[in-house]
């Protein structure tokens, strides 16, 4: 293995932190749109649990056991990462195939990490964001959450609606907190998510 331990640590922190933190890391998290931020202090402790597990399993990537690496986190988060594995393989083929990629260890590790993190963030939003919006909408209005409402929600997300943007990363943090049994973080993330969900439902979807 030619890649150094300190390089791996830096890569892990970049892959995890870059989608969550603005410049004053640890005090404010950003949304899917980095222009939107909110206070959520002390998140590094939670993220370090994730980073530690990533670090322990990096040798699987370096041995080109990508499927085994992803399976570890499928088990951790209860998510199917088959599509992520396919995307990674397609990208590797486009870059020259396995033999070439094996010689580019840093690039190989970073790509696997970022593709997986993207999938986990989408899964977190589906589970702890969108599904909660559906439940909250139906509870408040007494109506079904129709395709029309879903289309409007998708349009708001495409327009970088502020509460939806922030809900993406709050949902991801909730996913991490629940999976690593960090009860204090879980409680805080769920409370902040509930605030965003209520705002989305009452201010953006109630007129439908």
The pLDDT tens digits of the residues spanning 76-104 come to 999 999 999 999 999 888 888 778 887 88
Task: Please count the other Cβ atoms lying within 10 Å of the Cβ belonging to residue 6.
Answer: 8
Q: Is 104 exposed, middle or buried (0-12, 13-18, 19+ CB in 10 A)?
A: middle
Task: Please count the other Cβ atoms lying within 10 Å of the Cβ belonging to residue 134.
Answer: 17
* Contact between 28 and 40 (Cβ < 8 Å): yes
The pLDDT tens digits of the residues spanning 128-139 come to 999 999 999 999
> Which pLDDT score is estimated for 120?
96
Residue 68: which pLDDT band, with cuts at 50, 70 and 90?
A: very high
* Contact between 118 and 87 (Cβ < 8 Å): no
Asked whether the predicted pLDDT for residue 1 surpasses 80, the reply is no
Give the single-character DSSP code of 28.
E
The pLDDT tens digits of the residues spanning 3-35 come to 777 788 888 888 888 888 765 555 788 888 888
The pLDDT tens digits of the residues spanning 148-178 come to 999 999 999 999 899 999 999 999 999 999 9
Residue scoring higher pLDDT (121 or 206): 121
The pLDDT tens digits of the residues spanning 36-62 come to 988 888 788 889 999 999 999 999 999
Asked whether the predicted pLDDT for residue 207 surpasses 70, the reply is no
The pLDDT tens digits of the residues spanning 107-119 come to 889 899 999 999 9
> Which pLDDT score is estimated for 55?
94
């Amino acid at each position: 293995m030619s890649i150094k331990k300190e390089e791996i640590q830096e890569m892990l922190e970049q892959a995890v932190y870059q989608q969550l933190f603005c410049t004053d890391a640890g005090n404010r998290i950003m949304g899917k749109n980095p222009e939107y931020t909110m206070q959520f202090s002390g998140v590094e402790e939670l993220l370090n649990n994730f980073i530690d597990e990533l670090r322990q399993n990096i040798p699987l990537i370096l041995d080109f056991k990508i499927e085994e690496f992803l399976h570890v986190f499928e088990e951790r988060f209860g998510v199917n990462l088959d599509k992520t594995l396919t995307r990674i393989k397609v990208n590797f083929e486009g870059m020259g195939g396995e033999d070439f990629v094996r010689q580019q260890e840093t690039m190989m590790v970073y790509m696997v990490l970022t593709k997986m993190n993207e999938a986990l963030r989408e899964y977190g939003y589906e589970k702890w964001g969108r599904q909660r919006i559906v439940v909250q909408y139906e509870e408040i209005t007494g109506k079904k959450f129709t395709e029309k409402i879903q289309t409007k929600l998708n349009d708001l997300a495409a327009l970088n609606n502020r509460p939806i943007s922030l809900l993406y990363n709050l949902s991801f943090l909730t996913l991490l907190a629940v999976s690593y049994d960090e009860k204090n973080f879980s409680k805080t993330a769920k409370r902040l998510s509930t605030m965003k969900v209520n705002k989305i439902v009452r201010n953006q979807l109630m007129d439908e």
